[in-house]
Amino acid sequence: MFLHELFYQIKCSLKTKELYIWIILFPAFLGIVFKAALYDIYNRQTKFETVPAAVVTVRDDPIFSQVTKGINESEDPMFSFTFFSADEEQKALELLDSEEVGGVIYLEDELSMKVKYDGMKATMLKTFIETYTFQETIIKDAVMKDPLGYQKVADALTEDISTVTEVPLIPEGTNTNYMTQYFYNLLAMVALFGSMTGLRKTVESQANLSALGARRSCSPVKKSVTTVAGLTANFIVQSLCMVFSVTFIRFVLKVDLGDKLPMIYLTAVISGLLGVCLGFLIGSAGTFSEDSKEGISTVVSLLMCFLSGLMAGDMRIKIEDRIPIINRINPSALISDCFFSLNMFSDYSRYITDIVSILIISFIFALIGFVLTRRRKYASL
Amino acid sequence: MENTIVKIEGLVKRYSELIALDHLDLEIKEGEVFGLLGPNGSGKTTTINCLLSLLSFDKGSIEIFGRKMSPTAYDIKRDIGVIMQNVAVYEELSVYDNIDYFCGLYVKDKAVRKQYVEDAVKFVGLEEFLKFKPKKLSGGLFRRLNIACGIAHKPRLIILDEPTVAVDPQSRNKILEGIEELNRNGATIIYTSHYMEEVEQICTRIAIMDKGKKIAEGTKDELKRTIKNTETVTIEILSLPEKVREETGSLPHVYSAEYDGARLTVRCSGGKHNLIRILEVLQKNELSFGRVYTELPTLNDVFLEITGKALRDKED
Amino acid sequence: MQVFKAFFKVLRTKLTMAMIMMAVFIFIAVAYARTSSPTQKAFEDSRLNIALTDNDDTPESRSLIAFIGQKHNIVDPDPDMDRNIDRLYYGHLDCMLTIKKGYAEALKEGRTDDLFESKRMHDSYANIYILSRLDQYVGGVRASMLSGSSLDEAVSRTEELLSKEAKVSYADLNTRDDPEFSRTFSNYFQYMPYILIASVISALSPVLMAMQRREIRYRTGCSCIRSSSYFFQLILGSTAFVAVLWLIYMVVGIFLKGGMYEGKAWFAVLNSLVFSFVCTAMAILIATLTDNSRVVSFLTQILSLGMSFFCGIFVPLSIMGEGIKKIGRLLPAYWYISINDMLCGRETLESSKMISCFVIEALFGIVMAGAALVISRYSRDRI
């Protein structure tokens, strides 16, 4: 009997349009948006690349020219300079406007610069100018003090030194693109949207919530069997959706989810369980219409996702600084943190805390759901 | 003596202030087509829902097949077929899958089930629509699917709650014939409706309900015999002096004569030649009249006489 | 005004759900505005957050820390390493630095290697910047000492010289933070399109769908009311409802700002009013196209979230790629955000540009309302 129920519940779920809309089409759409709009921002904004700059030569300064050309020709240069004469200033500004250069440096008696936006690129160019001025002054100082010995000062200044030893915090090659967290949250959203199909199943098995529920209550099948079969069917279908989502993100959108891919799949499937249980809870609580319940489940899911950073990327860390308890219990935050931990850390302690929390919350949701649906007779239908 | 299939005693159901069922007693014997007749809101569906243990009730007892009914009485449920007022099928599943699903809740053996489902499909005449989604079916076919889902497992007791609401006459006849056939094949039927014609047509025994109470019970003939009306004569007539109406009313066996400006309705109780006597009065007064027809008493008359109101609103 | 009245009667039955939605969205908007730091750090305060551990603890190391502290924020590293990693990942922490034991000693002796340790997460601009700054600092001190200065003199001379700022100006003027409409407060308005789209469509469409249901439409069509009048009253009702919704958001804005709007902020208010109109038109169009509530909620999510990511609501336009912006231009929210960016000083404020943005934004609304009118006319005979 269980298998009969299970078979038809799965068949039913697979033919539900909402499933395809909410759990497959919508996330795919968002995934494409994320990939197109956000993923490359990291490479442009955070990850270091050579900063291009334009130099407008108002006054000839052979030393400056030599230094900048030296940088241009060095390996892995920090900056790359393009030179313009004073008459060509407009050209340089056009490059700035189209963001092909980070700033326009004016080589006058005193160095100055024009930028379009604030930001790290501009800051770095500014620092370059300051450094140049700084070194120039130190050498001038030295020449004044010891006109013959200044060369060793100059050598010392231009010598490539490295005062900082870098210790890697995380394994080399880890994906540190913080835009990836949008995809972690997207997966969390897919998992929580599973509540929509979950609540449908619940409504369809409750005599007081739907005609179908009443009809099924008249059959000689135990209610617990019907309920568990429905939830299992849901979970199986939800797992398929989660696997699809991970596959889509990893292989179609080509987002780097780290090298523990089997674990990612497993985590996705477990988070799906949380969504199903949430749906069971919402479905069994109260007697409002299925439409309102669906509305509630969408709003609740999106609110959770908002708090874990689906919309404003660094929400999670802001909450961590202010009210960390939310991150410990917000299902969406726990799910996205699982993916984050799998990607970031080689040890599993944080991951295990997260996944255990997910299982506990699922269990609590399911338990409340069972308590609420244990009634077999109703005061009114 | 036939077995008692359903026995309801002293059933009371309250919705806060409203009393939905007021000490209802019913006894249904094996092989009957038992009709539960009453206007909307008289408590028919509440009775059915209590019977099926979907609703809790305040007082009384319900026995089916001689055993106490409860939500966990699965062996009882196994032998009941339910056709609800609201169509309860999966929109996502095809016609065939729906029937197979519901049948499968009762019948484990796959081969038997296959046969049963085919029987049910043939029975309701949905052979050509097996792959259709329920939404694509017309109103009548949709109802027939609902019935197929209820009877596929060949239950001993079939409960139909207003199965013909919003159904075209053709489908309605098909459904009614089907119910009679099910009964011939040995099933006991409980049939609720507010269409008295249907109930008259198929039910072997009828209970009339109003405001949560059973106000009459018996075969249709028994019921009709309980009232004094034996014949209703209606005559289309353009104008009727009050004097003539009174004269008609005072004829022997006539207990009521009403004129509404176009029709004269005369209700008679027993006696022969009632029509001739009435027509004689009209001729004597040189009144010309149009169509004349007489009717035997209907269940509506029964209801009318007991409660003083019509079973259905005029436009219904 | 029978239709207008009916509109509000239907609305009343759907109000609870709309209220819940609105409460959630206001919560989201306020949370977003309250916690947002401008993604683009303003030039004047391009301060990095540096977690610093001083293992040397000498006058020299303290002097270095004070020097770094002038331009950047120095924080203590969190004892929980995970949280430091989180902060680095999300860019709330730019660098984790340790001054190693023996720093002062090495400085005195002119050694330059292995003075600091940096916990490295990725090659960020911030990281490379701070490393090169440290190299300069040490190199400067060493060079000064080579030219005969004492350690103290060398340190103070280096710090003095490194503190000198280069002259930087903006190619465009006017891109400054303005107290009338600060960047922090502008975040509330930046988020407004998401809130407006989501709440207007999800509150309005169910009402409109109920009013536009085929059977109702047919019955109304049989009555003697002119279809243009019917449509006009629907728009009027919708507009009145959205206006109330918008007013609530504006009042919340006043509380958030801690005072009445002033100066440029009024343009932001106007901007959101125009956008509310666009949303109304959008909701009417959607209700004309479908009478399936599930399709509507799907479209709501697609439109609100999709537009938010394409048009710079969640992530500033200035850091988005050109290709994406091209798509964004086809959507009304892009023009809303362009205006908002100009007002808060992320972009140059040019009145002609702003007016054309307003016009384009309003055009979207007019076109959609027009489309809805045309479709509802021609769909009358659609079965």
Report percent pLDDT > 70 for chain B: 97
Q: What is the DSSP string of B71-96?
A: TT-HHHHTTEEEE-SS----TTS-HH
Q: Are residues C52 and C184 in the same domain?
A: no
The whole-number average pLDDT for the span C274-300 is: 85
The pLDDT mean for chain C works out to 81
- Say if C171 falls within a structural domain: no
Domain final position from C104, C131, C163: C163
Number of domains in chain C: 2
C224 burial (CB, 10 Å; 0-12 / 13-18 / 19+) is: exposed
Residue C164 pLDDT more than 80?
A: no
pLDDT for the residue C366: 92
Whether A378 and B105 lie within 8 Å, measured CB to CB: no
> Which positions 176-205 of A are in contact with C (Cβ < 8 Å)?
176, 178, 181
The CA-atom distances, in angstroms, between A154 and each of A148, C148, C165, C231 are 12, 13, 22, 81
Phi, psi dihedral angles at C126 (to 5 degrees): -60, -45
C80 touches chain A (CB under 8 A): no
Give the model confidence (pLDDT) of C68-96 as tens digits. Answer: 888 888 888 888 888 888 888 888 888 88
Residues C249 and C268 in one domain: yes
Domain of residue C97, CATH code: 3.40.1710
Query: Best of B13, B54, B114 to disrupt the A interface by mutation (most A CBs within 10 Å)?
Result: B54
E strand or H helix that includes residue B188 = strand B188-193
Give how far A349 is from chain C: nearest CA, Å. Answer: 11
Question: Distance from B106 to chain A by nearest Cα, in Å?
Answer: 6
Mean pLDDT of C208-237: 77
Q: Which amino acid is at B200?
A: E
By C-alpha distance, the chain C residue nearest A175 is: C122
Best mutation target among A5, A6, A8 (most B Cβ atoms within 10 Å) is A8
Return the residue matching tokens 């049939």: B191
For C155-165, b where at least 16 C-beta lie within 10 A, e where not — what string? bbbbbebbeee
pLDDT score for B314? 41
Confidence class for position C221, pLDDT limits 50, 70, 90 = low
Identify whether residues C318 and C252 lie together within a single domain: yes
CA B144 to chain centroid: 17
Of B55, B75, B105, the CB nearest to A221: B105
CB contact under 8 A, C143 and A161: no
Q: What is the pLDDT of residue B62?
A: 93
Positions in chain A whose pLDDT score sits under 50: none
Contacts of C144 (CB under 8 A, 6+ apart): A138, A141, C153, C154, C157, C158
Please report whether residue C127 resides in a domain. Answer: yes
- Provide the shortest C-alpha distance from residue A3 to chain C (in Å): 31
Same domain, C33 and C95: no
Q: Is residue C59 part of a domain?
A: yes
Does residue C170 fall inside a structural domain? no
Q: Are residues C29 and C95 in the same domain?
A: no
Q: What is the pLDDT of residue C178?
A: 65
Residues of A in contact with B100 (CB under 8 A): 8
Inform me whether the pLDDT recorded for C38 exceeds 50.
Answer: no
Same domain for C187 and C155:
no
Kindly give the pairing relationship between strand B231-237 and strand B263-268.
antiparallel
Instruction: Give yes or no: residues C248 and C367 share one domain.
Output: yes
pTM of the prediction? 0.81
Residue ranges per structural domain of chain B: 4-225, 231-296
The distance in angstroms from the start CA to the end CA of chain B is 40
Q: Would residue C168 count as lying in a domain?
A: no
Residue in A33, A104, A345 closest to C310 by CB:
A33
Distance, CA of C196 to chain centre: 14
H helix intervals, C72-176: 81-90, 103-109, 125-146, 151-163
- Are C376 and C212 in contact, with CB atoms under 8 Å apart? yes
Position A110 scores a pLDDT of: 80
Nearest to A12 among B54, B78, B93 (CB): B93
Rounded CA-CA distance C129/A125 in Å is 10
Pick the CATH number of B4-225 from 3.40.50.300, 2.70.210.12, 3.90.180.10, 3.40.50.1970: 3.40.50.300
B170 touches A: beta carbon within 8 Å: no
Shared domain check, C335 and C255: yes
Substitution target from A218, A226, A378 for chain B, most B beta carbons within 10 A: A218
pLDDT of residue C246: 92
Report yes or no on C260 lying in a domain: yes
Q: C329: domain range? A: 2-38+177-381
Same domain, C285 and C367: yes
Please identify, among C141, C163, C185, the residue that sits at the C-terminal boundary of a domain: C163
Q: Which of C298, B90, B92 is nearest to A21 (CA)?
A: C298
Asked if residue C359 and residue C240 are part of one domain, the reply reads: yes
- A3 at B interface, C-beta within 8 A: no
* Structural domains in chain A, sorted by start: 2-39+180-373 (no CATH), 50-158 (3.40.190)
Q: Which of B281, B259, B243, B240 is nearest to B267 (CA)?
A: B259
**Is residue B93 within 8 angstroms of chain A, CB to CB?**
yes
Chains that touch B (3 or more CB pairs under 8 A): A
State the pLDDT confidence band at B129, using cuts at 50, 70 and 90. Answer: very high
Cβ atoms A142, C143 nearer than 8 A? yes
Question: Closest Cα of chain B to A214: distance in Å?
Answer: 7
pLDDT of the residue at C45: 46
Q: 3-class DSSP state for residue B213?
A: strand
Same domain, C7 and C80: no
Residue B315: predicted pLDDT: 36
Q: Any bridge partners for residue B256, and if so which?
A: B267
pLDDT-derived band at C46, boundaries 50, 70, 90: low
CB within 8 Å: B56 and A211: no
Domain end: C163, C191, C216, which one?
Answer: C163
pLDDT digits (tens, 9 = 90+) for C260-281: 888 888 999 999 999 999 999 9
Residues of B in contact with A13 (CB under 8 A): 92
Neighbours of chain C (3+ CB pairs under 8 A): A
The answer as to whether C169 is a domain residue is no
Right CATH for B231-296 from 3.30.70.2470, 3.40.50.300, 3.40.109.10, 2.20.25.90: 3.30.70.2470
Do C227 and C148 share a structural domain? no
Query: What pLDDT is stored for residue A336 in this prediction?
Result: 93
Most C CBs within 10 A among A67, A90, A111, A118, hence the mutation to make, goes to A118
